[in-house]
Protein backbone atom coordinates (compact mmCIF):
# COMPACT_ATOMS: atom_id res chain seq x y z
CA UNK A 1 0.00 0.00 0.00
CA UNK A 2 2.78 2.44 0.93
CA UNK A 3 4.41 1.93 -2.48
CA UNK A 4 1.60 3.73 -4.31
CA UNK A 5 1.75 7.11 -2.47
CA UNK A 6 5.54 6.91 -2.48
CA UNK A 7 5.52 6.45 -6.25
CA UNK A 8 3.10 9.38 -6.64
CA UNK A 9 5.41 11.66 -4.65
CA UNK A 10 8.50 10.42 -6.46
CA UNK A 11 6.89 10.87 -9.87
CA UNK A 12 5.31 14.29 -9.30
CA UNK A 13 8.11 15.92 -7.32
CA UNK A 14 11.88 15.97 -6.94
CA UNK A 15 11.56 14.94 -3.31
CA UNK A 16 14.12 12.13 -2.87
CA UNK A 17 11.90 9.16 -2.04
CA UNK A 18 12.66 5.59 -3.08
CA UNK A 19 10.32 5.34 -6.08
CA UNK A 20 12.72 3.64 -8.48
CA UNK A 21 11.95 0.03 -9.11
CA UNK A 22 8.26 0.58 -8.35
CA UNK A 23 7.22 1.43 -11.90
CA UNK A 24 5.12 -1.62 -12.68
CA UNK A 25 1.62 -1.06 -14.10
CA UNK A 26 -0.13 -2.07 -10.87
CA UNK A 27 1.74 0.44 -8.73
CA UNK A 28 1.68 3.16 -11.38
CA UNK A 29 -2.07 2.86 -11.88
CA UNK A 30 -2.66 2.55 -8.14
CA UNK A 31 -0.64 5.71 -7.50
CA UNK A 32 -2.97 7.89 -9.58
CA UNK A 33 -5.62 8.36 -6.83
CA UNK A 34 -2.77 9.61 -4.62
CA UNK A 35 -1.95 12.46 -6.99
CA UNK A 36 -4.11 15.02 -5.09
CA UNK A 37 -2.45 14.04 -1.80
CA UNK A 38 0.96 14.61 -3.39
CA UNK A 39 -0.42 17.93 -4.57
CA UNK A 40 -1.28 18.87 -0.99
CA UNK A 41 2.33 18.26 -0.01
CA UNK A 42 3.43 20.54 -2.86
CA UNK A 43 0.91 23.17 -1.79
CA UNK A 44 2.16 23.09 1.80
CA UNK A 45 5.73 23.66 0.59
CA UNK A 46 4.57 26.57 -1.57
CA UNK A 47 2.72 28.19 1.33
CA UNK A 48 5.73 27.89 3.62
CA UNK A 49 7.99 29.36 0.96
CA UNK A 50 5.54 32.16 0.20
CA UNK A 51 5.43 33.07 3.88
CA UNK A 52 9.22 33.31 3.86
CA UNK A 53 9.41 35.21 0.57
CA UNK A 54 6.65 37.60 1.62
CA UNK A 55 8.55 38.63 4.71
CA UNK A 56 11.68 39.63 2.81
CA UNK A 57 10.71 40.57 -0.75
CA UNK A 58 8.18 42.86 -2.47
CA UNK A 59 5.00 41.17 -3.81
CA UNK A 60 6.05 40.97 -7.47
CA UNK A 61 9.36 39.34 -6.59
CA UNK A 62 7.77 36.99 -4.03
CA UNK A 63 5.21 35.88 -6.64
CA UNK A 64 7.97 35.24 -9.18
CA UNK A 65 10.00 33.20 -6.70
CA UNK A 66 6.95 31.13 -5.78
CA UNK A 67 6.29 30.40 -9.46
CA UNK A 68 9.90 29.34 -9.94
CA UNK A 69 9.74 27.13 -6.86
CA UNK A 70 6.66 25.38 -8.25
CA UNK A 71 8.63 24.54 -11.39
CA UNK A 72 11.60 23.32 -9.37
CA UNK A 73 9.49 21.08 -7.12
CA UNK A 74 8.18 19.18 -10.15
CA UNK A 75 11.54 19.18 -11.90
CA UNK A 76 9.98 20.92 -14.90
CA UNK A 77 8.22 17.65 -15.76
CA UNK A 78 4.84 19.19 -16.57
CA UNK A 79 6.30 22.18 -18.40
CA UNK A 80 8.14 19.76 -20.66
CA UNK A 81 4.82 18.06 -21.39
CA UNK A 82 3.19 21.41 -22.12
CA UNK A 83 5.96 22.33 -24.56
CA UNK A 84 5.84 18.99 -26.39
CA UNK A 85 2.04 19.10 -26.58
CA UNK A 86 2.04 22.63 -27.97
CA UNK A 87 4.67 21.75 -30.57
CA UNK A 88 2.78 18.63 -31.65
CA UNK A 89 -0.81 19.83 -31.59
CA UNK A 90 -0.17 23.13 -33.33
CA UNK A 91 2.10 21.74 -36.05
CA UNK A 92 -0.89 21.26 -38.36
CA UNK A 93 0.16 17.69 -39.18
CA UNK A 94 -1.55 14.29 -39.18
CA UNK A 95 -1.68 12.05 -36.11
CA UNK A 96 1.53 10.14 -36.80
CA UNK A 97 3.50 13.34 -37.33
CA UNK A 98 2.02 14.90 -34.18
CA UNK A 99 3.08 11.86 -32.15
CA UNK A 100 6.57 11.99 -33.67
CA UNK A 101 6.96 15.67 -32.85
CA UNK A 102 5.83 15.08 -29.28
CA UNK A 103 8.52 12.41 -28.85
CA UNK A 104 11.21 14.79 -30.11
CA UNK A 105 13.33 16.06 -27.21
CA UNK A 106 13.91 19.38 -28.96
CA UNK A 107 11.56 22.28 -28.24
CA UNK A 108 9.98 24.26 -31.06
CA UNK A 109 8.53 27.73 -31.41
CA UNK A 110 5.06 26.84 -30.15
CA UNK A 111 6.56 25.02 -27.19
CA UNK A 112 8.59 28.07 -26.21
CA UNK A 113 5.56 30.33 -26.55
CA UNK A 114 3.43 27.98 -24.43
CA UNK A 115 6.02 27.73 -21.64
CA UNK A 116 6.79 31.46 -21.53
CA UNK A 117 3.09 32.35 -21.56
CA UNK A 118 2.36 29.83 -18.82
CA UNK A 119 5.10 31.15 -16.53
CA UNK A 120 4.24 34.80 -17.15
CA UNK A 121 0.54 34.32 -16.45
CA UNK A 122 1.21 32.16 -13.41
CA UNK A 123 3.60 34.73 -11.99
CA UNK A 124 1.10 37.51 -12.60
CA UNK A 125 -1.74 35.69 -10.88
CA UNK A 126 0.44 34.73 -7.93
CA UNK A 127 1.35 38.39 -7.56
CA UNK A 128 -2.29 39.48 -7.88
CA UNK A 129 -3.43 36.84 -5.38
CA UNK A 130 -0.88 37.80 -2.76
CA UNK A 131 -2.32 36.93 0.65
CA UNK A 132 -4.59 34.17 -0.74
CA UNK A 133 -2.47 31.33 0.57
CA UNK A 134 -5.55 29.14 0.77
CA UNK A 135 -5.66 29.14 -3.05
CA UNK A 136 -1.92 28.58 -3.20
CA UNK A 137 -2.39 25.51 -1.01
CA UNK A 138 -5.21 23.99 -3.06
CA UNK A 139 -3.85 24.83 -6.52
CA UNK A 140 -1.51 21.79 -6.75
CA UNK A 141 -4.20 19.55 -5.26
CA UNK A 142 -6.77 20.52 -7.88
CA UNK A 143 -4.34 20.43 -10.80
CA UNK A 144 -3.02 17.00 -9.78
CA UNK A 145 -6.58 15.81 -9.39
CA UNK A 146 -7.17 16.91 -12.98
CA UNK A 147 -4.52 14.43 -14.16
CA UNK A 148 -6.27 11.67 -12.22
CA UNK A 149 -9.60 12.77 -13.71
CA UNK A 150 -8.14 12.72 -17.21
CA UNK A 151 -6.67 9.23 -16.73
CA UNK A 152 -10.01 7.99 -15.38
CA UNK A 153 -12.00 9.38 -18.31
CA UNK A 154 -9.72 8.83 -21.30
CA UNK A 155 -7.50 6.14 -22.71
CA UNK A 156 -3.83 6.06 -23.65
CA UNK A 157 -3.01 7.14 -27.19
CA UNK A 158 0.11 5.03 -27.75
CA UNK A 159 0.54 1.28 -27.99
CA UNK A 160 3.55 1.59 -25.69
CA UNK A 161 5.04 4.39 -23.65
CA UNK A 162 6.35 5.44 -20.25
CA UNK A 163 2.93 6.66 -19.09
CA UNK A 164 0.96 3.63 -20.23
CA UNK A 165 1.05 2.04 -16.77
CA UNK A 166 -1.02 4.89 -15.34
CA UNK A 167 -3.93 3.91 -17.59
CA UNK A 168 -4.03 0.22 -16.68
CA UNK A 169 -5.91 -1.41 -13.79
CA UNK A 170 -8.15 1.61 -13.17
CA UNK A 171 -9.86 1.53 -9.79
CA UNK A 172 -13.18 3.39 -9.61
CA UNK A 173 -13.17 3.39 -5.80
CA UNK A 174 -9.71 4.94 -5.75
CA UNK A 175 -10.74 7.70 -8.13
CA UNK A 176 -13.86 8.39 -6.07
CA UNK A 177 -11.75 8.72 -2.94
CA UNK A 178 -9.38 11.08 -4.76
CA UNK A 179 -12.35 13.17 -5.91
CA UNK A 180 -13.75 13.41 -2.37
CA UNK A 181 -10.32 14.35 -1.03
CA UNK A 182 -9.98 17.08 -3.67
CA UNK A 183 -13.46 18.42 -2.91
CA UNK A 184 -12.73 18.52 0.82
CA UNK A 185 -9.43 20.36 0.37
CA UNK A 186 -10.96 22.77 -2.15
CA UNK A 187 -13.79 23.52 0.27
CA UNK A 188 -11.16 24.68 2.76
CA UNK A 189 -10.55 27.62 0.43
CA UNK A 190 -14.25 28.47 0.53
CA UNK A 191 -16.42 29.21 -2.53
CA UNK A 192 -13.36 30.26 -4.56
CA UNK A 193 -11.79 26.85 -4.09
CA UNK A 194 -14.92 24.98 -5.11
CA UNK A 195 -15.45 27.23 -8.13
CA UNK A 196 -11.84 26.61 -9.16
CA UNK A 197 -12.34 22.86 -8.80
CA UNK A 198 -15.45 22.96 -10.98
CA UNK A 199 -13.67 25.05 -13.61
CA UNK A 200 -10.72 22.66 -13.67
CA UNK A 201 -12.94 19.59 -13.93
CA UNK A 202 -14.70 21.09 -16.95
CA UNK A 203 -11.46 22.18 -18.58
CA UNK A 204 -10.00 18.71 -18.09
CA UNK A 205 -12.89 17.17 -20.00
CA UNK A 206 -12.48 19.71 -22.80
CA UNK A 207 -8.74 19.18 -23.08
CA UNK A 208 -9.16 15.41 -22.92
CA UNK A 209 -11.77 15.44 -25.67
CA UNK A 210 -9.53 17.64 -27.81
CA UNK A 211 -6.59 15.26 -27.35
CA UNK A 212 -8.78 12.27 -28.13
CA UNK A 213 -9.99 13.89 -31.33
CA UNK A 214 -6.46 14.90 -32.31
CA UNK A 215 -4.40 11.81 -31.45
CA UNK A 216 -6.89 9.24 -30.15
CA UNK A 217 -6.26 9.68 -26.43
CA UNK A 218 -3.77 10.97 -23.91
CA UNK A 219 -0.02 10.67 -23.48
CA UNK A 220 2.36 11.59 -20.68
CA UNK A 221 2.96 14.92 -22.41
CA UNK A 222 -0.73 15.79 -22.59
CA UNK A 223 -1.11 14.94 -18.91
CA UNK A 224 1.66 17.42 -18.14
CA UNK A 225 -0.07 20.02 -20.29
CA UNK A 226 -3.37 19.40 -18.50
CA UNK A 227 -1.67 19.95 -15.15
CA UNK A 228 0.06 23.17 -16.23
CA UNK A 229 -3.03 24.69 -17.83
CA UNK A 230 -5.18 23.75 -14.86
CA UNK A 231 -2.79 25.40 -12.40
CA UNK A 232 -3.55 28.57 -14.33
CA UNK A 233 -7.28 27.80 -14.34
CA UNK A 234 -7.24 27.50 -10.53
CA UNK A 235 -5.48 30.84 -10.12
CA UNK A 236 -7.67 32.60 -12.72
CA UNK A 237 -10.93 31.17 -11.39
CA UNK A 238 -9.91 31.96 -7.83
CA UNK A 239 -9.05 35.54 -8.76
CA UNK A 240 -12.27 36.15 -10.68
CA UNK A 241 -14.42 34.46 -8.05
CA UNK A 242 -12.73 36.43 -5.30
CA UNK A 243 -13.39 39.70 -7.15
CA UNK A 244 -17.07 38.89 -7.71
CA UNK A 245 -18.04 37.29 -4.41
Q: Which residues in 194-220 are b (16+ Cβ under 10 Å) and which e?
A: bbbbebbbebbeebbeebbebbeebbb
User: What is the residue range of 29's domain?
Assistant: 3-244
Helices 77-89 and 191-215: crossing angle in degrees, nearest 10, is 50
According to the model, what pLDDT value does residue 169 have? 83
| pLDDT tens-digit map of 12-40 | 999 887 655 556 778 888 999 999 999 99
How many structural domains compose the chain?
Answer: 1
Q: Which of 134, 149, 151 is nearest to 187 (CA)?
A: 134
Q: How far is CA 226 from the centre of its chain?
A: 6
Determine the pLDDT at residue 143. 98
pLDDT truncated to tens, each residue of the chain (245 aa)? Answer: 578 888 999 899 998 876 555 567 788 889 999 999 999 999 999 999 988 887 888 888 888 999 999 999 999 999 999 999 999 998 777 888 899 999 888 899 999 999 999 999 999 999 888 878 999 999 999 999 999 999 999 999 988 888 898 998 888 999 999 999 999 999 999 999 999 999 999 999 999 999 999 999 999 999 999 999 999 999 999 999 988 87
pTM recorded for the entire structure = 0.94
Q: Report the distance separating Cα 203 and Cα 151, nearest Å.
A: 14
Looking at residue 160, its pLDDT comes to: 86
Give the angle 205-208-210 at the CA atoms, nearest 5°: 110
Phi/psi region, residue 169 (left: phi>0; alpha: psi -120 to 50; beta: rest), is left
Amino acid sequence: MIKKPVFAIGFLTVIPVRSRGLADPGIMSGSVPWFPAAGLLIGALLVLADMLFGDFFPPYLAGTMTAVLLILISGGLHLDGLADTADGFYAGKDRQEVMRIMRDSRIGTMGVIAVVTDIMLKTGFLWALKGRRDLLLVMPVISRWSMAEAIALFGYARDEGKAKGFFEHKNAAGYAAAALFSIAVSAAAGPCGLIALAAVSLNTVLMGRFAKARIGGLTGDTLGAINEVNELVVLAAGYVAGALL
